[in-house]
Chain A
Amino acid sequence: MGIRINLDVMMAKRKISLTELASRVGITAANLSVLKTGKAKAIRFSTLEALCRELKCQPGDILEYSQEDELHGKEI
């Protein structure tokens, strides 16, 4: 899909592990991993809000639109 998840970048900047972030956000580590690896189909606003709160960032820091990724996805 054309939306890229830059969660790993923000997690590295804030020096927080997957399990700790999952615990703070209130979702399972498995689900957070699904989100981080770009396999999720949708994200709830409540989850996005919690991520931005814990990572002290804006939604645009986590979500990025890329037309190249969209075209690549269509070719696949």
Chain B
Amino acid sequence: MKQKELSVWLRVTAIIIGIFLVLACIFLAPTSGREAEESVPGSYWWTVISLYITAVIAFLALGNAYLIFTDIGRDRSFTRINALRLRRISILAAADAAIYLIIFGVLAVIGSLNPVGLLIRGAIALFCAGASAASAALSHLTVKAADIQADNDLTI
């Protein structure tokens, strides 16, 4: 796959993920809130707000990823800016993992969620933690690659 085609494909994928996130915010967050309200009265809004916070964090990470995908198409993959964006994605993913773990812990302690819900939240937290670790490693590798490319570009 050529670089430009890869960049287009990655950007389209990011947009599709963004659309799914928006749909999840519109439909799934209120549903989760209502489920939580049934178990623990008064918990609707904090459930929905905490899910919206994770969605905003995910959008920020997706935005950084979109910028990286754009740079790939411009043949500017290995730059310090992209390494910084990957570091941001790592931090944002870690924040999302932490929030989901907190939600998981609170709901597990008060016993208000069904096992499927707990499992889903645990899986999301695990996925975010994995994404955070991978992004941090990629950020480090991108810095090294950027330095090598800069040296190579200035080798006549």
Binding site for B on A (CB under 8 A): 27, 31-32, 34-35, 39-44, 47
Interface string of B118-156 (1 = CB under 8 A from A): 000000000000000000000000000000001100111
Please give the distance in Å from B146's CB to the nearest CB on chain A: 14
Binding site for A on B (CB under 8 A): 150-151, 154-156
How many A-B contacts if CB must be within 8 Å?
23
Q: Name the 9 nearest CB pairs between A and B, nearest first.
A: A41-B154, A42-B155, A35-B156, A40-B156, A31-B156, A43-B156, A40-B154, A41-B151, A47-B156
Q: Which residues of B contact A31 (CB under 8 A)?
A: 156
Q: Which residues of B contact A42 (CB under 8 A)?
A: 151, 154-156
Q: Using CB atoms, name the residue of chain A closest to B151.
A: A41
Q: How far is the CA of A18 from the CA of B151 in the complex (A)?
A: 23
Q: How far is the CA of A47 from the CA of B155 in the complex (A)?
A: 10
Q: How far is the CA of A38 from the CA of B88 in the complex (A)?
A: 35
Please give the distance in Å from A68's CB to the nearest CB on chain B: 23
Q: Which residues of A contact B154 (CB under 8 A)?
A: 34, 39-42
Please give the distance in Å from B154's CB to the nearest CB on chain A: 4
Q: Which residues of A contact B151 (CB under 8 A)?
A: 41-42
Q: Which residues of B contact A35 (CB under 8 A)?
A: 156
Q: Which residues of B contact A34 (CB under 8 A)?
A: 154, 156
Q: How far is the CA of A39 from the CA of B156 in the complex (A)?
A: 10
A27, A32, A40 — most chain B CB neighbours (10 Å): A40
Q: How far is the CA of A31 from the CA of B154 in the complex (A)?
A: 8
